[in-house]
Amino acid sequence: MFRLQGSKVLAVEMTGDSVRAKNGSMVAYDGEMAFKKLSGGGEGLRGMVTRRLTGEQMTLMEVKGRGTCWFADRASEINLVALRGDRLHVEASNLLAADAGLRTGTTFTGLRGASQGNGLFTTTVEGHGQAALLSDGPAVVLRVSPQYPLSVDPGAYVAHQGDLRQSLQSGVTFRTFLGEGGGEAFQMRFEGDGLVYVQPSERNTVAGDV
Amino acid sequence: MTVQVLDPATLPADDNVNPYTFCVELKGSQWFLQKGKMIAYYGRIEFNGIGHGALERLVRTSFHSPLHAGDWVVAQGSGKMLLADRAFDVNSFDLEDGNLTIRAGNLLAYQPSLALKQSIVPGFLTLIGTGKFVAASNGPVVFMEPPLRVDPQALVGWADCPSPCHHYDHGYVRGVIGGLRTLTGIGGTSGEEHQFEFVGAGTVLLQSSEALMPEQATGAVPHEPGVPGGGSGHASGGHGPLGPGMPRMPGQLGDLQRRFGL
């Protein structure tokens, strides 16, 4: 059972079940807990190789026991996401914890990753359960529906969930090369039906300078 | 805790979504914003650099800071746009036929009904006219009234009052010992020997933290006679060498795009 204590600490109550969390993110616990590092994100040998190859590395630990365990990471804001059989796409560095019942994997995201500077791949979380996301500043959750497509700055993108198609939208013109760009040269465009998580801060991206 | 899901219908118009995110509604209108502060938008919005030929009339009436031209863009179209800056607090302020001076790095966006000018104080910008603007601050903004001395790092801006002057602690500056201390730092300093002093009527805006927002190249001062503090750091962002006299406005005669008739 995931619960937020304040906005920057995640409390998980466990009764003999387990959760997967970012390695080293435990700040306190009571009761009996066992922490086990999961090599390769607990996805088996194949997942491990895939992660190594794709650079979407994620060191997770498995926490199992009875009691309450608190997690936090560099005072980042934490956002809870409930998954009901749908799929969540998130950057590996933004995933704090997930129910053990959720499957994690790696998918190809296309060109977006290249402009964002954190690789061509993203982490997916699927199944039924809860996941906790990290963001710099509280994330804004935006709904995308067929009549309202959404454009997001790659630096502010955190995660998305649901049946969404994403494409890279480029505003690069000859003016960009004359140093007269609009400053928003690349955007991720989401179409379909789902939710997008956006943080009120931009990571440094290649696109940010254009 | 339930998560609030927002869509174009539920997003506020020209108001804060949360303390760190501001939503601007565009209905065929235009807004000036600092490069890279847009985090997401619905609808059709176009972003163009200040030098874009079609914007010349707009720039002529409401943008008078060639120094910062490289860091500003104009958003136009229709839809809703979210602005944020490094997870700092953002707030909007309304100006009614007034003037307000603000640290260049703190100003995020403003309506073209305001005119932006460079303040005589380096690193600050002045907005004149009527309209709305959005500013970021490290912690919430506090409003104070002169006469007042403020810590330079906590100063965000000031409205309707004369520009500040420097104030140095008399005891600290006086005499040989004081001079030695200034030079070497030996003998201890409290870190509060230098303030900005405001006199007259008006309002002073302070942020509730002394952590200066990381100054971007926007606030750099060019090498020019008559500009105090000039020459430290780099000059304005990538607009070629700044010759003597006025810095060049992009789109001014001599720029490539103009030569090609664009």
Contact B51 A175 (CB under 8 A): yes
Indicate which CATH number applies to the domain containing A152: 3.60.160.10
Which tops the pLDDT comparison, A210 or B10? B10
Residue of B nearest to A154 (CA): B39
| B215–chain A nearest CA distance, Å | 16
pTM: 0.77
Nearest CA in chain A to B48: A182
Where in the sequence is the domain holding A98, given as residue range(s)?
2-209
pLDDT, mean of residues B125-132: 93
Asked whether A78 and A130 are in contact (CB, 8 A), the reply is no
pLDDT of A209 higher than 60: no
Task: State mean pLDDT over A102-130.
Answer: 69
pLDDT digits (tens, 9 = 90+) for A129-172: 999 999 988 999 999 999 999 998 888 888 999 888 887 776 65
In angstroms, the separation between the Cα of residue A169 and the nearest Cα of chain B is 12
**Is omega for the bond preceding B147 within 30 degrees of 0, making it cis?**
yes
pLDDT of B16 above 50: yes
List the structure tokens of A108: 């190809």
Q: What is the DSSP string of A101-157?
A: TSEEEEEE-TTHHHHHTS-SEEEEEEEEEEEEEEESSPPEEEEEBTTB-EEE-TTTE
Q: Provide the pLDDT for residue B69.
A: 77
More confident residue, B238 or A3: A3
Q: Is A95 on the interface with B (CB under 8 A)?
A: no
Interchain proximity A148–B42, CB inside 8 Å: yes
Q: Is the ipTM, as predicted for this complex, more than 0.90?
A: no
Over residues B145-154, mean pLDDT:
87
With cut-offs at 50, 70 and 90, classify the pLDDT of residue A22.
Answer: confident
Residue with tokens 């934490």: A78
Which B-chain residues 168-227 have CB contacts (< 8 A) with chain A?
A: none
Between chains, do B39 and A145 touch, taking CB under 8 Å as contact? no
Average pLDDT of span B124-134: 93
pLDDT in the model for residue B134: 94
Reply yes or no on whether the pLDDT at A38 is more than 90. no
Given this model, what pLDDT does residue B63 score?
A: 86
Q: Are strands A60-71 and A26-38 parallel, antiparallel or unpaired?
A: antiparallel
Nearest CA to B238 out of B256, B224, B218, B257 is that of B218
pLDDT at A117 over 90: no
Q: What is the DSSP letter of A36?
A: E
pLDDT at position A195 is 93
Q: Which of B262, B173, B249, B155 is nearest to B211 (CA)?
A: B155
- Return the exposure string of B105-139: e unless at least 16 CB atoms fall within 10 Å of the residue's CB, then b: bbbbbbbbebbbbbbebbebbbbbbebbbbbbbbe
Which residues of chain B lie closer than 8 angstroms to A140, CB-CB?
6, 17-18, 21, 39-40, 82
**B37 phi, psi to nearest 5 deg:** -95, -5
Q: Could you tell me the residue ranges of all domains in chain B? A: 9-138, 140-208
Q: Which helix (H) or strand (E) holds B57?
A: helix B56-62
A145 touches chain B (CB under 8 A): yes
Q: Does A162 touch chain B (CB under 8 A)?
A: no
Residue A210: helix, strand or coil by DSSP? coil
Residues of chain B with C-beta less than 8 angstroms from the C-beta of A184: 35-36, 38, 47, 73
The CATH code of the domain at B9-138 is 3.60.160.10
Q: What tens digit of pLDDT does each residue of A61-107 get?
A: 889 999 999 999 888 899 999 999 888 988 888 889 999 888 888 77
Segment A122-134 mean pLDDT = 89
* pLDDT for position B217: 40
- Residues of chain A contacting residue B20, judged by C-beta atoms under 8 Å apart: 137-138, 200-201
Beta-carbon separation of B257 and A178 below 8 A? yes
User: Are B73 and A182 within 8 A, CB to CB?
Assistant: yes
Name, in order, each residue with C-beta under 8 angstroms of A174's C-beta and a sequence gap of 6 or more.
none
Does residue B252 have a pLDDT over 80?
A: no
Q: Distance between CA atoms of A154 and B84, rounded to whole angstroms?
A: 13
pLDDT of residue A9: 94
